[in-house]
Chain A
Amino acid sequence: MDMIKHLMETRRDSVIAFGIVIVGYVVMQALMATGNLSYTISGLMVPICAYIVMAVSLNLTVGILGELSLGHAGFMSVGAFTGIVVTTVLAGSVELPMLRLAIAMVAAALAAAVVGVIVGVPVLRLKGDYLAIVTLAFGEIIKNIVNVLYIGLDSRGLHFGLVTPRFTLEEGGKMIINGPIGVSGIDKISTFTAGFVLILITLFIILNLINSRQGRAIMAVRDNKIAADSIGISTTRYKLMAFVISAAFAGMAGTLYAMNYSTVTAAKFDFNLSILVLVFVVLGGLGNIWGSVIAAILLTALPELLRALNFNDYRMLVYAVLLIALMLFNNSNFKQRLLERRAMKQAEKEPKEVA
């Protein structure tokens, strides 16, 4: 019996995912160092990192747990604004920007996880389309709440207001979140390297989870809820576990993303963003973690690369055609047959090993 082969197979996906990310990082660093990177592309590096973390974490909910969530940007928003508040508060006390960013991300993960529990407990009782619609509503609600949220900081501490800033700041105080105007004057402490490290951590944790008893329980719930129940798996517990971990990583991606711009508004984390990330997950393949990584990179960079190649007039056309082609391929009989052939080959191989 060749358990080694089994180990290699389960590890293969992890190796590919880490491989893509590490090679990508080294290549981009080299291009940056030699000045071969256009201004737009280098400006995209941190957002791409954030999108990768978003896609990988959403894949945990949609691909591994099998529940369609249309509100992933809501968790990103929670993380973004938590991160902004925390970094502002820590600006005086924690000198090292990287450390401040790391602390902000931990706080963002916790905040998004708490919101994940609050949303998840009622929502995960729903099935399929209902769950999708409620998560969509959740994303919009978060956007609308942040739109009327006022948070200020002065020597007395933090001040909160909803709808109107019901507080007056002392001399030298700072308005952190200013309702619909959002946040401006952000200390841009996110870096490509920080994004790279966050992706590595995300991949490490989520791939480890998938290859564990909890991960198997989550996938068992996805494949057959009644059967999972029948072998002693609490389906509500594992649904919530996947959903909350997914939300926590979206929160960290939010901080990474927000600390890359000088201004951020709630409108950035809207339904369109949730759908964009969902497109990454679906095109990369449900449950396929490295697929999410590739899809997030390609679909974000492609329009810009086509622009750089002077395809300007046809840029969006090429992009759209590629998207449609990929989508068709993913749902085609052709792909189905490829997969079946692979299964057949496997089946032919096996009897020899048994004998």
Chain B
Amino acid sequence: MALLEVTDLGISFGGLRAVDELNMTVEQGALVGLIGPNGAGKTTVFNMLTGVYRPTDGGIRLDGENLVGKKPHEICKMGIARTFQNIRLFNKLPVLDNVKTGFHNEVTYTLPESLFHAGSYRKKEKQMDEKAMEILKVFDLDGQWDYKAANLPYGKQRKLEIARALATDPKLLLLDEPAAGMNPNETAELMETIELVRRRFQVTVLLIEHDMKLVSGICEYLYVLNFGRLLAQGTPVEVLSNPEVVTAYLGG
């Protein structure tokens, strides 16, 4: 059974059919790309997968469990974590605490323990500090753990978002244009980090990218979306040589 199964997924906003009859599967451990021109509906797919939008048609299953109708925080508990195209960090919190919020359902203690700083409070906080620093190290953010998230440079903010998502210990990680706004060097480095993360955290990755060439380097399989519909799918080589895909990109 595939980790993620999307069947005949569709959503309408008023008269606009943003996504239509989308079928998609992501196997355990895979690194899959979701590509397509601007406005194709890629982010809308992520919003449906994470419960931000409720699809008007179709089904979504994670490990065989239905996700449609679940709230975003419940879907996170079931094992999907994500980043956002327009970065959404907890700007006033330190970098370290941004990651620690990601442990919210992983490392827990009760409200009385937190009001009195009693019981397992100290032990669990220490455990979270250590785990958070470990994750920050992977993204080379450990030197700036006490910065306010808002004061990080742009590229590092993108990385921090991935770090926070990984803290929730997801089965499936959704990355929405993680390289947007980065220069080619930063992008190449980020792609390496994503490869590394995938092995280290044993996480399946579904990645949105606007730039087709860029993902073809690391993704094993690609889904191409155009005007809300699936235009093509296959290995990067297959997809890149598909004339329809080429026209969609040149036309868009």
CB–CB A208/B151 < 8 A: no
Q: Which 8 A-B pairs have the closest CB atoms?
A: A212-B114, A354-B143, A232-B76, A229-B72, A227-B88, A223-B90, A232-B105, A224-B88
Q: Which of B8-16, B162-170, B210-218 contacts A (4 or more CB under 8 A)?
A: B162-170
- Given A213-B107, A232-B168, the answer on whether A9 and B151 have CB atoms closer than 8 Å is no
- Given A223-B91, A343-B148, the answer on whether A234 and B73 have CB atoms closer than 8 Å is yes
From A209, A232, A351, give the contact of B73 (CB < 8 A).
Answer: A232
Q: Can you list 21 A-B contacts (CB < 8 A)? A: A3-B129, A209-B114, A211-B117, A213-B107, A213-B108, A216-B97, A216-B101, A216-B104, A217-B104, A219-B92, A220-B90, A228-B90, A230-B76, A230-B84, A231-B101, A231-B168, A232-B76, A232-B105, A235-B73, A350-B147, A351-B143
Shortest Cβ distance from residue B107 to the other chain A in the assembled complex, whole angstroms: 7
B91-116 near A? 1/0 per residue, CB < 8 Å: 11110110011111101110101111
- Given A229-B72, A231-B101, A233-B73, the answer on whether A208 and B116 have CB atoms closer than 8 Å is yes
Interface of chain A residues 273 through 288 with chain B (CB within 8 A): 287
Residues of B within 8 A of A217 (CB): 101, 104
Given contacts A222-B92, A241-B111, A347-B147, 16 further A-B contacts (CB under 8 A): A3-B129, A208-B116, A212-B113, A213-B107, A213-B109, A216-B97, A220-B93, A227-B88, A231-B102, A232-B104, A235-B73, A287-B92, A346-B151, A347-B151, A350-B144, A351-B143
CB–CB B133/A1 < 8 A: yes
Question: In this assembly, does B191 line the interface, its C-beta being within 8 Å of a C-beta of chain A?
Answer: no
CA of A228 to CA of B76, assembled, Å: 10
Interface size on B, residues (CB 8 A): 53
CB–CB A226/B114 < 8 A: no
From A219, A235, A351, give the contact of B93 (CB < 8 A).
Answer: A219
**Which B residue's beta carbon lies closest to that of A235?**
B73
Residues of A within 8 A of B73 (CB): 229-230, 232-235
**Which A residue's beta carbon lies closest to that of B149?**
A223
CB–CB A346/B129 < 8 A: no
CA of A200 to CA of B94, assembled, Å: 27
Shortest Cβ distance from residue A34 to the other chain B in the assembled complex, whole angstroms: 37
**Which A residue's beta carbon lies closest to that of B96?**
A6
Residues of A within 8 A of B91 (CB): 223-224
CB–CB A226/B88 < 8 A: yes
Question: In this assembly, does A182 line the interface, its C-beta being within 8 Å of a C-beta of chain B?
Answer: no
Q: Which has the most chain B C-beta neighbours within 10 Å: A213, A228, A233, A351? A: A213
Interface of chain B residues 118 through 173 with chain A (CB within 8 A): 121, 124-125, 128-129, 133, 142-148, 151, 164-165, 167-168
CB–CB B93/A213 < 8 A: no
Shortest Cβ distance from residue A198 to the other chain B in the assembled complex, whole angstroms: 15
CB–CB B89/A223 < 8 A: yes
Question: In this assembly, does A205 line the interface, its C-beta being within 8 Å of a C-beta of chain B?
Answer: yes
Question: In this assembly, does A215 line the interface, its C-beta being within 8 Å of a C-beta of chain B?
Answer: yes
From B71, B81, B143, give the contact of A350 (CB < 8 A).
Answer: B143
**Which A residue's beta carbon lies closest to that of B107?**
A213
A71-107 near B? 1/0 per residue, CB < 8 Å: 0000000000000000000000000000000000000
Residues of B within 8 A of A347 (CB): 147, 151
Residues of B within 8 A of A330 (CB): none
**Chain A binding surface SS class:** helix
Question: In this assembly, does A353 line the interface, its C-beta being within 8 Å of a C-beta of chain B?
Answer: yes
Question: In this assembly, does A214 line the interface, its C-beta being within 8 Å of a C-beta of chain B?
Answer: yes
CA of A234 to CA of B77, assembled, Å: 11
Residues of B within 8 A of A234 (CB): 71, 73
CB–CB B72/A214 < 8 A: no
CA of A351 to CA of B148, assembled, Å: 16
Residues of A within 8 A of B97 (CB): 216, 219
Residues of B within 8 A of A208 (CB): 114-117
**Which B residue's beta carbon lies closest to that of A222?**
B92
Question: In this assembly, does B50 line the interface, its C-beta being within 8 Å of a C-beta of chain A?
Answer: yes
Question: In this assembly, does B229 line the interface, its C-beta being within 8 Å of a C-beta of chain A?
Answer: no
Interface of chain A residues 284 through 315 with chain B (CB within 8 A): 287
CB–CB B81/A231 < 8 A: yes
CA of A211 to CA of B97, assembled, Å: 10
Residues of B within 8 A of A209 (CB): 114-115
**Which A residue's beta carbon lies closest to that of B82?**
A230
**Which A residue's beta carbon lies closest to that of B140?**
A354
CA of A217 to CA of B100, assembled, Å: 10
**Which A residue's beta carbon lies closest to that of B84?**
A227
**Which B residue's beta carbon lies closest to that of A217?**
B104
A7-33 near B? 1/0 per residue, CB < 8 Å: 001000000000000000000000000
Shortest Cβ distance from residue B75 to the other chain A in the assembled complex, whole angstroms: 9
From A213, A351, A353, give the contact of B104 (CB < 8 A).
Answer: A213
CB–CB B104/A224 < 8 A: no
Shortest Cβ distance from residue B177 to the other chain A in the assembled complex, whole angstroms: 16
Question: In this assembly, does B52 line the interface, its C-beta being within 8 Å of a C-beta of chain A?
Answer: yes
B48-91 near A? 1/0 per residue, CB < 8 Å: 00111000000000000000000111001100011010001111
CB–CB A231/B76 < 8 A: yes
**Which A residue's beta carbon lies closest to that of B47?**
A226
